[in-house]
Structure 1
Amino acid sequence: MKIGAIQEPSFENRVSITPDIVDALQKLGFTVSVETKAGERAYFSDADYEKVGAKVASRNQILSDSDLVISIHPIDADTAKQIGNGKIYIGTLSPLAQPQKIKELAASNTKIFSMDTIPRITRAQSMDVLSSQATVSGYKAVLLAASNYSRFFPMLTTAAGTITPARALILGAGVAGLQAIATARRLGAVVDVFDTRPEVKEQCMSLGAKFVEVEGAADASQSGGYAVEQTEDYKNRQKDAIAKYAEKADIIITTALIPGKKAPVLITKAMVDSMRQGSVIVDLAAVNGGNCEYTQNDKTIVQGGVTIIGNSNLPSTQPMDASKMYAKNILNFLKLFVNKEKQFSINMQDEIIDACLIADAGAVRHKPTLALLG
């Protein structure tokens, strides 16, 4: 079976297949093609791919010759038609954020799999692109905050006096939040963390953070690691608690997302206005409206001396490792389709495959997306 990886749009530096997994794919029975210069922005040359046995080809060749096409960002409807009837396309498509686009892609009669619909179960951890890329986002968010912050992160004792450590407030202790905690602590910051799920308290404390508790949160145990809608009473108590910590925070990293919905506003304009000048907010929920009222997606603004960074694609700024992690997720996902005899088949009895096949035979089959389409 022929696999082809296509080049990402100009704003994206990552690539969906990296040279280090080509050998593993070949051992599964696949032949691998990569679009010319597809890996260049992630520092993988065409020669790197050819050296491990992959073929470097034009985009049109890959779309017409491959049985299975892979990317990170969604393709357009015309590209889907080029792939053709009954063939397979795999990407990270955010179906709940763009249901109409999924409907347009489905019309191509291509079998469409979306990696961000993989269920968050133990067996699927090695395929979870949201977690692997959130690791990159959480790490880079703190580095971005540090580079824009007006002071040092760690406590320093110098001949000129003692410099107190920065105080960081992390909102959300999912994968991105936990990585942000660990990175901020490594840089020497004092870290407070807030999450609606009390079960993550121990993880946060083990990383050296103080956990801020607000009782009465809705149960999020079945949400796959995401935030869930809360009652108005809880939101008011949550707002008061966050306000107290935001006022004394130098760095705020926000990570709270609810799939298919606008991100909850956790940092109000009043909270930002109460922060001291030179502070920094990095909003990882910017793509869904942001957790901060001032956030503008893919923009950095300064409000009252506070720098607010809305960046929805931080993994692209660490393209080599982010690409390797994504490619390894793809490799582990493709293993589900290959038996011991290296025969490829789509087993719809497998809950992971069933959850990820969002369109087939010209129609959308992903139930949450269908609900949004009416």
Structure 2
Amino acid sequence: MAETQEATVKFGVLNETSSDESRVALTPDIVTRLRKAGITCLIESGAGIAAHYTDDDYAKAGAQVLSADEVVAKADALGFVDRPSAALVAKIKPGTWVIGMLGSFTDADYIAALEQAGIVGIGIEKLPRQLSSAQSMDEMTSQNSVMGYKAALVAANAYGSFFPMMTTAAGTIRPAKVLILGAGIAGLQAIGTARRLGAVVTAYDVRPASRGEVESLGAKFLDLGLDFSKGQGEGGYARALTPEEQAAQQAAVDEKAAGFDVIITTAKVPGRKPPVLLTKAGVDGLKRGAVIVDCAASELGGNVEGSTVGTTVTDGGVTVIGAPYLASEVSNTASNLLARNVADVLAHFVRDGKLSIDLNEELDDALVVAGRPAAAAPAEA
């Protein structure tokens, strides 16, 4: 057996669990993996409990189980499910690296605060997912996959009838008609899960390439009679529609939605206000007992007009579930995937036994959002 390299980089993870969050950014398997790469892992006591990992599990894998203050004081880099609070940023020593979803698209003040604190910020939301070398680092893809799976289960649980067709002695019950709006990673997982539960599934997305993906899963593609032939944006994400395009889409979706029992919306434009796909008029047009799960609901709004985080029931008897934290409800699997994403981002920046940045390297240039060093001068010919 090859000897483990001498550890030179200390990687710390804190307990981020709350009423909404059960995930952890480090799992015992990843501790073992990082040790072999010469990285020592530090974890706050209790950080993995909500994801079903004990302190003993981490200790056996080779991690140091410490208090939060000790982790912050000793770590060269800290990994997060989300990002450190302003209070925590004030405690982090200058020169520390912070890896997570830092909100660099919309929160310039937060990034400026990291800069002022002397922290190197690695924003996973900036990952150029078209790079093959970045696929294993793509937290958005891994967590959206979990979210889409859970969204279908949440919808089935809230719906007052069966998802599959059932033939009983008392008669035949028709299958639920499910509409998925947004056929990205989360949407495709929601399609596959709803189909496995026996529902008749239809889906829609503005990206032209999505039709083949939807149909390959056995779902129907919703034809709105509109042409958004340039719906594909950079990096594989859907682009934001023009106001005219969005109005036309909303009117068409509102009209078609009335024929469905369950609607799951998953359309996000990373770091920006999500598009409204279903207006209040569309919600009011649904039959009593219909269920909507809005995965894009947040403080920025959601895909459903007026949706908020949590569950509400309209005067017309439609249940609207604003559910941005669904990945956290599958905490063990979601943590396994997320920990791999964060660890691979960390490992990318460990060069010759230390953390370093090369802004001439595309991935480095994209991910470093705070504490950017001056680019190295080109070598003389």
TM-score normalised by structure 2 residue count? 0.90
- Give, in angstroms, the shift of residue 343 of structure 1: 4.9
Mapped pair 1:31 → 2:40: yes
1:117-266 aligned at under 5 Å gives the runs: 117-121=126-130, 122-213=132-223, 214-217=225-228, 219-266=230-277
Task: Assess if the C-alpha contact under 8 Å between 1:190 and 1:209 holds in 2.
Answer: yes
CA distance in 1, matches of 2:146, 2:220: 23
1:3 to 1, 11, 15: 11
Give the aligned partner of residue 15 of structure 1. 24
User: How big is the shift at 1:345?
Assistant: 2.7
Q: Which amino acid aligns with 1:10?
A: S
Deviation at 1:130, TM superposition (A): 0.4
Structure 2: unaligned runs, 5 residues or longer: 1-8, 376-381
Do the aligned partners of 1:74 and 1:92 also contact (CA within 8 Å) in 2? yes
- C-alpha distance in 1 between matches for 2:87 and 2:245: 46
What corresponds to 1:332 in structure 2?
A: 344
Distance apart, 1:218 and its partner CA: 5.5
- In 2: Cα distance, 1:192 partner to 1:53 partner: 48
Q: Give the C-alpha shift of residue 116 in structure 1.
A: 1.5
Question: Cα offset for 1:353?
Answer: 1.8
When structure 1 is superposed on structure 2, of 221-230 and 272-281 the one drifting more is 221-230
Distance 1:145 1:60 in 2: 41
How many aligned positions are there?
Answer: 362
Structure 2 counterpart SS, 1:318: helix
Residue aligning to 1:371:
none
Question: Which amino acid in the other structure matches residue 343 of structure 2?
Answer: L
Shift of 1:344: 4.0
Shift of 1:224: 2.5
| Partner residue in 2 for 1:61 | 70
Aligned residue type for 2:313: V
Deviation at 1:234, TM superposition (A): 3.1
The whole-number CA distance in structure 2 between the counterparts of 1:273 and 1:52 is 54
1:129/1:326 contact within 8 Å kept: yes
Could you say which residue in structure 2 is the equivalent of 1:44? 53
Distance (Å, rounded) in 1 between the aligned partners of 2:10 and 2:244: 55
What amino acid maps onto 2:289 in structure 1? G
Give the superposition deviation at 1:102: 2.2
Cα displacement string for residues 172-229 of structure 1 (whole angstroms, at most 9, x for unaligned residues): 1100000000001000111111111111111110101111234321524333233323
What residue identity is the alignment partner of 1:130? M
| Maintained 8 Å contact 2:114/2:120 | no
Contact persistence 1:77–1:105 (CA under 8 A): no
Q: Please identify, of 48-57 and 103-112, the stretch whose mean Cα deviation from structure 2 is larger.
A: 103-112
Distance verdict in 2 for CA 1:261–1:52, change over 3 Å: closer
Alignment of 1:60-139 (within 5 A): 60-121=69-130, 122-139=132-149
1:41-100 deviations in whole A, cap 9, x for unaligned? 111000000011111000111111111111112112342232212221112122223322
Secondary structure of 2:121's counterpart equals strand
Taking the aligned partners of 2:366 and 2:195, their CA distance within structure 1 comes to 37
Tell me the SS of whatever aligns to 2:303: coil
Output the amino acid matched with 2:114.
L
**For 1:20, what is the secondary structure of its paired residue?**
helix
Q: CA 1:96 to 1:190, structure 2 compared with 1: closer, same or farther past 3 Å?
A: same
Q: Deviations over 1:116-172 (max 9, x none)?
A: 211111321111000000001101111001111011000011111000000011001
Amino acid at match of 1:29: G
Q: CA deviation at 1:283?
A: 0.4
Say if 2:306 is the partner of 1:294.
yes
CA displacement 1:218-277 (0-9 Å, x = unmatched):
524333233323244433442343123310111101111223432211111111111111
| Letter in structure 2 aligned against 1:267 | L
Q: For the Cα contact (< 8 Å) 2:233–2:239, is it kept in 1?
A: no
Q: Quote the Cα distance in structure 2 between the aligned partners of 1:231 and 1:65.
A: 48
Aligned Cα RMSD in Å? 1.9
Q: Which letter maps to 1:202?
A: G
Q: In structure 1, what is the equivalent of residue 3 of structure 2?
A: none
Structure 1: which 5+ runs fail to align? 366-374
- Kept in 1: contact 2:17–2:47 (CA 8 A): no
Counterpart-to-counterpart distance in 2, 1:229 and 1:222:
8
In structure 2, give the amino acid aligned to 1:249.
Answer: F
> What fraction of aligned residue pairs are identical, expressed as a percent?
44
Matched position secondary structure for 2:113: helix
Residue 215 to residue 337, structure 1, CA distance change in 2 (3 Å): same
- d(CA) in 2 for partners of 1:343, 1:97: 31
SS in 2 for 1:8: coil
Distance 2:180 2:203 in 1: 5
Q: Distance in 1 between matches of 2:370 and 2:121?
A: 5
The one-letter code matched in structure 2 to 1:178 is L
Distance 1:343 1:293, change over 3 A: closer
